Amino acid sequence: MKNSTTGGAGALYVVATPIGNLGDMSQRAIDVLNTVDLIAAEDTRHSARLCQHFSINTPLKAYHDYSDQAHSEAMIAQLKMGKDIALISDAGTPLISDPGYRVVKLARDADIDVVPIPGACAMAAALSVAGLPSDRFCFEGFLPAKAGQRLNYLQDLMEEERTMIFYEAPHRIVDSLTAIVDVFGAERELVLAREITKTFETVLAGTAHEVLQRVEADPNQRKGEMVVLIKGFEASEKQIDAKVEHMMRCLLAQLPVKQAAQIGAEISGLRKKALYQWALDNKPG
């Protein structure tokens, strides 16, 4: 498995594992995990069960992004000595809101081959069945746990035109959906994909308010792994009408253009960029 382009060094394999259904484990992933010298796993106890299921006897070692620098450098040293290492997370593709960035960066900086072994990814699976625009999207990971930070984070995305994808924990899903309704509006299209590939897989689609109501009404919808997808902002949804123009003229009489546009966007829900340009074109004398 050694790659001749790295002068005898080993290779770091970034291996996707199932997010629920073990049938999604690829034969290539099994072969790699069987033949590398070491598997670096987010949780060795969890990964031991996966290895047992597929009769993989390769040694496991814990690795996560909280590992200290010395731990990461020790892995790089092993790779330089010719060892092949596979990096896996608890589920899905490593580095997609999962550990691995640090050691991958160190490996690439050391000219060590980093080889992707693709497979399951909750984000991609949810997007494929959501029925939302998929030609342009952004993955935002987990929303902040604290309410104020969560609202601020979402407000920064008010003008985002791409489909937005988030992961969320079950104990925060109601609070997060409530914040989404408050910031994006009750009518924004939203999809909640829950327990993808697992026994109780569910995909709820509708307006943000409709999905929130269904989750509040059914305790089962507040369990498991969750992906939230929000349709992006459509510039045509709102226009700068006479009322907004009047508001902006009042703001511009007292405030700089940038601040007037910011406040106007928060009040009207319109894009800050559009209001900023309008303010530049209409600022008094």
Q: How far apart are CA 228 and CA 164, in angstroms?
A: 8
Residues 129 and 115 in one domain: no
> Could you tell me what percent of the chain has a pLDDT over 70?
94
Residues 62 and 140 in one domain: no
Of 93, 120, 147, the residue at which a domain comes to its end is: 120
Q: What pLDDT does 270 receive?
A: 81
Residues 224 and 159 in one domain: yes
Mean pLDDT of the chain: 92
pLDDT digits (tens, 9 = 90+) for 191-245: 999 999 999 999 999 999 999 999 999 999 999 999 999 999 886 556 778 888 8
Of 94, 120, 146, the residue at which a domain comes to its end is: 120
Closest alpha carbon to 115 in 173, 59, 32: 32
Q: What pLDDT does 4 receive?
A: 43
Q: Are 191 and 131 in contact, with CB atoms under 8 Å apart?
A: yes
CATH number at residue 222: 3.30.950.10
pTM over 0.85: no
- The 3-state secondary structure of the chain, one letter per residue: CCCHHHCCCCEEEEECECCCCHHHCCHHHHHHHHHCCEEEECCHHHHHHHHHHCCCCCCEEECCCCCCHHHHHHHHHHHHCCCCEEEECCCECCCCCCCCHHHHHHHHHCCCEEEEECCCCHHHHHHHHHCCCCCCEEEEEECCCCHHHHHHHHHCCCCCCCEEEEEECHHHHHHHHHHHHHHHCCCCEEEEEECCCCCCCEEEEEEHHHHHHHHHHCHHHHCCCEEEEECCCCHHHCCCCHHHHHHHHHHHCCCCHHHHHHHHHHHHCCCHHHHHHHHHHHCCC
Residues 278 and 194 in one domain: no
pLDDT digits (tens, 9 = 90+) for 157-180: 988 999 999 999 999 999 999 999
CATH number at residue 102: 3.40.1010.10
Domain count, the chain: 3
Q: Which of 18-22, 25-29, 174-178, 280-284 has the lowest mean pLDDT?
A: 280-284
Closest alpha carbon to 228 in 142, 115, 99: 142
Question: What average pLDDT does this structure show over 93-119?
Answer: 93
Residues 248 and 229 in one domain: no
Q: Are 114 and 104 in contact, with CB atoms under 8 Å apart?
A: yes
Q: Are 224 and 200 in contact, with CB atoms under 8 Å apart?
A: yes
Residues 219 and 133 in one domain: yes
The residue range of the domain holding 270 is 238-282
